[in-house]
Structure 1
């Protein structure tokens, strides 16, 4: 089993090191991750400039590769041949914050796993669902669940469309109640536009706001985390709204 590990917080982020340690008992591990933080970068394919890849080492001396591309670029680079050995699955994370509900289209962590599935390789995204900037991160519990989930997926048979988005409560391991398979919930964003003027009199803008919340309907990722459970959400890349597709068959578009 050959596992590619990437993330969107940067190759030297502690969450990546924790995920690498969790994957090592499961097979051979290759690391190719961004050389800086790409949080919120979404699904990117860089075509307008060359991509660079450099050798580096993690804090414990583990060899790794870093790129100036996005997380999805890192996966594409590896699968298209920068990593010569066949890759059996891709794991991404462990992200510093949760990736819940609509976050999945913004998240470099999740879209790296999506890039794997586009190429026919199973993808897993792991996030630590801390709800503020100040809470201390301990990735050990999340890494433990990452190992358990990937091991279970291998045991049940990896398929090329396997795409799992996993969010782990930011709690000590003994306080996590277990694991739930969930659906995407509804993310509530509280974005604000901050308009400013630079020293030369030109306007510029920051998009900010309060930390988003979510609607914890039963069966959703938000409800699982609220109740102290790990959320495992199977995703698919087909975004077709089939109910609307059916209704649109009755529309009159005119001549």
Structure 2
């Protein structure tokens, strides 16, 4: 079993180190991550410029590869042959939850999507860290990630399906268990922030409060809000099959 570990927060992010340490013992581990933070980068593939890859070390001395490309570039380069064949791709541990529509923005989840596109199972891990916490403790999340990866290796995943795991920020003995969930309804509280630079030219930020979600028990947001680990199977086929018949009745 050869496991590729990547993320979207950069190769030196503490969540990546926790995930690497959690995967050791499950197989051979290769670390390949962006050289900087790519949070909310979405599913990006770099085609218009060359990509650089450097050898680096994590804080515990683990060797790693870092690229100036996007998170999904790490997976793409690996599966195209930059490293030996990969059996499983795990991504994270993201310091904040990726629920509902977040999965379309998240470099963590879209890296797992890139794995599935390449024919390799993908697991994405995210931790709902409190916003006012200066330094997160990833020990519980690392143990959860190991358990999920062990189960996925043993049981297998269907073709074109990945698992997005969201973990509540709790000590391991306070986590209530696991729930298999659907994507919830993410509520975004974005605001347009307009400023002027010293030359009087306008510039803009997408600001606002941290997003929230609807507290429905069978959803990802509902589960982690109640102290459960949320595991959501995500399929790459996003076709709205229920809408196809209606569209076929339109007069084209």
Normalised TM-score (structure 2): 0.97
Determine the C-alpha separation between the residues in 2 that align with 1:35 and 1:243: 42
Write the distance in 2 (CA, Å) between the matches of 1:186 and 1:69: 31
Map 1:108-147 onto structure 2 (within 5 A). Answer: 108-134=107-133, 136-147=135-146
The answer to whether the 8 Å contact 2:161/2:236 transfers is no
Verify: 1:46 aligned to 2:27, yes or no: no
Residue 15 of structure 2: aligned partner: 15
Q: Distance in 2 between matches of 1:231 and 1:158?
A: 17
The aligned counterpart of 2:217 is 218
Q: Which runs of 4+ in 1 moved over 3 A?
A: none
Q: Is the 8 A contact 2:92 2:124 kept in 1?
A: yes
CA displacement 1:55-111 (0-9 Å, x = unmatched): 00001110000000110011101111111x110010000001100000000000000
* Whole-angstrom CA distance in 2 between matches of 1:162 and 1:195: 40
CA offset at residue 159 of structure 1?
Answer: 4.4
Does the C-alpha gap of structure 1 residues 131 and 249 become closer, same or farther in structure 2, counting only changes over 3 Å? farther
Residue in 2 that maps onto 1:167:
166
Alignment correspondent of 1:74: 74
How big is the shift at 1:177?
0.5
Partner residue of 2:203?
Answer: 204
d(CA) in 1 for partners of 2:251, 2:194: 43
Aligned length: 252
> CA 1:133–1:107 in structure 2 vs 1: closer, same or farther (change >3 Å)?
farther
1:217 Cα offset (Å): 1.6
Tell me, in whole angstroms, the C-alpha distance in 2 between the residues paired with 1:153 and 1:76: 21
Q: What is the RMSD computed on CA atoms of the aligned residues?
A: 1.1
Q: Deviations over 1:196-251 (max 9, x none)?
A: 11111211100011000001223100111111000000001111111122221222
| TM-score normalised according to structure 1 size | 0.96
Match of 1:25, SS state, is: coil
Q: CA deviation at 1:136?
A: 4.2
Q: Counterpart of 1:154?
A: 153
1:235 aligns with 2:228: no
User: Is 1:55 equivalent to 2:79 in the alignment?
Assistant: no
